[in-house]
Amino acid sequence: MTILEVNNLKKVYTTRFGGSPVQALANVSFSVEEGEYAAIMGESGSGKTTLLNILASLDKPTSGEVLLKGKGLSTIKEKEISAFRRENLGFVFQDFNLLDTFSLQDNIFLPLVLSGKSYEEMSRRLEPIARKLGIGDILAKYPYEVSGGQKQRCAVARALITKPQLILADEPTGSLDSQAAEGLLRLFKEINSEGQTLLMVTHSVKAASHAQRVLFIKDGEVFHQLYKAGMSDEAMYQKISDTLTTMATGGGRHE
Amino acid sequence: MSRFFYPKLAATNLKKNAQTYLPYILTCIGTVMMYYIMVFLSENEGLGKMAGGSQVQSILSMGTYVIAIFSAIFLFYTHSFLVKRRKKEFGLFNILGMEKKHIARVLAIETLYVAGISLGAGLLGGILLSKLIFMVLLKILNFEVPLGFEVSGPALAAVLFLFAGIFLLTLLNTLRQIHLAKPVELLMGGQTGETEPKTKWLLVVMGTLSLGGGYYISLTTQSPLAALTQFFFAVLLVIVGTYCLFTAGSIAVLKLLRRNKGYYYQTRHFTAVAGMMYRMKQNAVGLANICIMATAVLVMVSTTVSLYIGMEDVLRTRYPQHIMISTPMPAQQSVEGLQTSVKEVLVKHGLEGKDRLDYRYVAFVGNQEGDRLITNLSNISDDSSSVREFYLIPLEDYNRLAKRTASLGDDEILIYSSGSKYEEDTLTVFNRTFSVKERLDSFFENSPNRVSISGSYYVVVKDMDVVKAMEEARAKENGDDPSGYRYYLGFDLEADEADISAVYQDIRTALGSDYPGSSIESPVAAKESFFAIYGGLFFLGIFLGALFIMATVLIIYYKQVSEGYDDKARFEIMQKVGMSREEVRGSIRSQVLIVFFLPLVTAGIHIAFAFPIITKLLAVLNLTNVGLFAWCTAGTILVFALFYAIVYGLTAKVYYRIVSWGTSG
Ligand SMILES: Nc1ncnc2c1ncn2[C@@H]1O[C@H](COP(=O)(O)OP(=O)(O)O)[C@@H](O)[C@H]1O
Ligand SMILES: [Mg+2]
């Protein structure tokens, strides 16, 4: 079943002071199936964050549409959009986006508190997640008291606790050292194997090689995609590198 | 590197940080101006030569100290805020290869620029404004305004000396901070992670006790004399209490709220409690500063304004009659002789005394202990709150003045008390016990109802024999000569101030040599010195009020700016996690409002509790018109609140621009 469908997305940034408009996305179309783990790759500045922000309904496309479980994001009323986002989407960001005013536990609870859940229910939901992510004994700490990897795992917990349809991750390993990054990628694989749909945006070949499918964007369009289909991480890594080389040397588009 | 590299870099830095430096420089200019003007006035020779001018100048020179100390603390404080904001920038310079000594050089040049601009503009403004302020002061004091324009050398020197010192200190402090920090720490700058604030219960208890103590003193102090000594103690307690409760108390309350899970984990409370905790940790001291300054402004302005407005009242309270003569009457003098002398003066001026009031009395001071009066002078003043003035008046004079026909036995008295109530049934003084026949609710019209700093009793005794006997007993106890009784003669005149003044002068000359030890008073004669003192206080109150308000504005501005930068990031995260823009906006707005108006509301509460003790202090200064003071206080609070709200509106704009209200998303 298709969970996310993106059709002919275009995004043009018009700067306020009369600068020339920047086209971040030209014509992006793809879809994500339920239970899939997809990665989107592209150079810095290729429009990955822009795409993710639109998928997250944090930003609006210039044209084109995004369907989540068949429902168009543009049809949701402004008032309901945050509740919709809260209940259907989970986010993991490069810079964690944890609030320094809250303990880690409260950071994880935040979306549930906003949905009006009781404390008992929140604790009940957190318990298995915390165990799986190995953050049980740092929950009372504050973001600045723990390492980047721990922060990112808390951000993942925050994304998981709402039981979202889809988790969107923007460069989740971007601020982590290689060991912590490796840990996070394993974690993603694990939650994906339990049925969680994941869409990750990255420019790290390493990170992308863990996904089942990799989409490449260049010049604001989906340039190419690769299926892992039983390949090992190493083989996938090699294949992605090759594709990137082709792209960089201006090779033609091929499916 | 070019010779001009550092000066250029310094200039660019200031421009780049204009949003925080401009208000700082404006404040420097403002304080320079105010300090110059205050020194100028307190050193001005013309003012010193005017009648009462030297009194005004001693009040003003007190003001110069206040401004100097305040400027130093305040500029130091705001500057440290600027440096905190810029640490990241210094760290970057450091990492880009500038050594710390180079950074120090840039900072020194920056400080020179700031000092130059501040002193230049401040002195220019001060010199130009000094004439205007001088005229305003003279107007307030009811003095003639002389022509001419002066620049005061000593004032210039004082300003240069003080502010050079302040700027040097701030520079040294900055250099010390830069020197101590590692580049990485500098880069981390202001955001070195927020540690969870600890609950300091000791401070909470201390704050509650000392605030409660301060309030208690204000509410329970009865005698004005005690008020005088207790007031500063109460102020100190309230200041300590305010700091403790703002810093520790607020955190304790918020933590208690957070511990209550049912309350805390509700959508509306969740972000508010955590947000407030963070804000209070960041701003508690700044908010306590604002609160105390607001309270100080309100007290200063409301008291000095009501004293100034109520000056006629004050004069009337202190001098109920136009001419007031009180003179000792030893055996060789006679009341008739004095009356004749006064009469002659009045006839000469073609005037007649109206509402004439005269009586014989003796007065003495003692400590009241229950129904006893301890008059031994060496014991007096140990406990100031029980000090009483006693006026003994014969029944004959009382009946005449009060138009009564009361009668008294040898050991019976009537008693009228002003200040503190006399509750006993008997009164023992100099080993003689009187029984109180009647407590009077009023004495007689225009009675010298002086609000002395201690309580006063007016005691009516059977006749002059008793009065004289008491005076002899007093003299015997104190080992001096009995001075006989005293005679008071007072009356009003239907004449203008100049004539009253002339009569007053003539009576002084007429009685001067024949009646040694007599006191002759008139509101007309006292008016000038009252104007000098109360006008001087009024001026100082307004002037310092303006200074404090300026400081308050600046603290608020910096608070808003720094919070804006912090909130911007938080605002974005909250939206990403699924809070709607409206929710975030509402939550932040209510937090900003609470933080903003907390000091004002607290200041209001302080003022309400301070009201009783301040009315007693004003009574010492002869202002008994509580209604007037209440109005002045209410008016001052209203004006201040209005001003505060305007400042809020303006700085909130800056704040919302920083968090880019409405543009993101
Ligand atoms: N808010 C914005 N306003 C104008 N241009 C933007 C904005 N956000 C991104 N861009 C531009 O859009 C392009 C794509 O940016 P982004 O989506 O952040 O790329 P990526 O995440 O792949 O590095 C870049 O050229 C960037 O400069
Ligand atoms: Mg990006």
Residue A47 CB less than 6 A away from ligand 1: yes
**How many whole angstroms separate alpha carbon B362 and alpha carbon B430?**
14
**B274, B577, B580 member nearest A101 (Cβ):** B274
pLDDT in tens, A169-227: 999 998 888 889 999 999 999 999 999 999 999 988 999 999 999 999 988 888 889 99
Pairing between β-strand B323-329 and β-strand B412-418 as defined by DSSP bridges: unpaired
Provide the token pair at A31.
Answer: 């879809």
Chain B contact set for A83 (CB, 8 A): 578, 580
The residue assigned the tokens 């200063």 is B300
**How many whole angstroms separate alpha carbon B615 and alpha carbon B537?**
16
Question: Which range scores top for mean pLDDT: A78-87, A104-113, B146-155?
Answer: A104-113
For range B203-208, the mean pLDDT: 95
From chain B residues 210-269, the ones with a CB under 8 A of any chain A CB are 261-262, 265-267
What is the distance of C-alpha A231 from the center of its chain? 23
- Distance (Å) of CA B634 to CA B151, B305, B306, B548, B610: 39, 12, 11, 19, 13
- Distance (Å) of CA B209 to CA B19, B217, B242, B285: 41, 12, 11, 19
Provide the token pair at A188.
Answer: 């993603």
pLDDT in tens, B444-463: 766 655 555 567 788 888 88
**How many whole angstroms separate alpha carbon B578 and alpha carbon B164?**
53
What is the distance of C-alpha A108 from the center of its chain? 17
ipTM of the complex: 0.81
- Taking residue B451's Cβ as centre, other Cβ atoms within 10 Å add up to 20
Who's near B459: CB < 8 A, 6+ residues apart? B390, B391, B392, B393, B413, B414, B415, B416, B427, B434
Q: Taken in order B460, B321, B306, B30, is the CA torsion positive or negative?
A: negative
**Is the per-residue pLDDT at B116 higher than 90?**
yes
Whether residue B189 contacts residue B66, with contact meaning beta carbons closer than 8 Å, is answered with no
Burial A30-61 (b: 16+ CB within 10 A, else e): bebeeebbbbbbbeeebbbbbbbbbbbbbbeb
Choosing among B188, B258, B265, which should be mutated to test the A contact, i.e. which has the most A CBs within 10 A?
A: B265
The per-residue pLDDT for B663 is 44
Element (H, E) at A71: strand A71-72
Provide the mean pLDDT of chain B: 84
Span of A228-232, B88-92, B192-196, B652-656 with lowest mean pLDDT: B192-196
The per-residue pLDDT for B447 is 63
Q: In angstroms, what separates the C-alpha of B126 from chain A's closest C-alpha?
A: 42
**How many whole angstroms separate alpha carbon B508 and alpha carbon B521?**
9
The per-residue pLDDT for B509 is 86
**How many whole angstroms separate alpha carbon B639 and alpha carbon B629?**
15
Distance A150 CA to ligand 1 centre (A): 28
Cross-strand pairs, B7: none
Q: Pocket of ligand 1, candidates A15, A16, A22: which has the most ligand atoms within 8 Å of its Cβ, to mutate?
A: A22
Q: Pocket of ligand 1, candidates A50, A59, A93, A218: which has the most ligand atoms within 8 Å of its Cβ, to mutate?
A: A50
pLDDT in tens, A138-179: 999 988 889 989 999 999 999 999 999 999 999 999 888 888
| pLDDT > 90 fraction of chain A, expressed in percent and rounded | 52
The atom number, within ligand 1, closest to the CA of A50 reads: 17
Residue A45 CB less than 6 A away from ligand 1: yes
Cross-strand pairs, B357: B490
- Distance (Å) of CA A213 to CA A116, A251, B2: 36, 21, 57
**Hey, what amino acid is at A71?**
K
Residue A50 CB less than 6 A away from ligand 1: yes
Show the CA angle centred on residue B583, arms to residues B579 and B587, nearest 5°: 115
The per-residue pLDDT for B186 is 61
Chain A contact set for B573 (CB, 8 A): 97-99
**A85, A99, A145 member nearest B578 (Cβ):** A85
The per-residue pLDDT for B427 is 85
Element (H, E) at A31: strand A22-33
The per-residue pLDDT for B665 is 36
Answer whether A99 sits within 8 Å of B579, measured CB to CB: no
Provide the token pair at B331.
Answer: 């055996």
Treating both helix axes as pointing N-terminal to C-terminal, what angle do A178-193 and A148-160 enclose, rounded to 10 degrees? 20
Distance A212 CA to ligand 2 centre (A): 21
Question: Which range scores top for mean pLDDT: B49-53, B63-67, B95-99?
Answer: B63-67
**Is the per-residue pLDDT at A251 higher than 80?**
no
Q: Considering only alpha carbons, which residue of chain A is nearest residue B579? A: A82
Cross-strand pairs, A90: A167
Cross-strand pairs, B392: B362, B459
Q: In angstroms, what separates the C-alpha of A131 from chain B's closest C-alpha?
A: 22
Whether residue B470 contacts residue B476, with contact meaning beta carbons closer than 8 Å, is answered with no
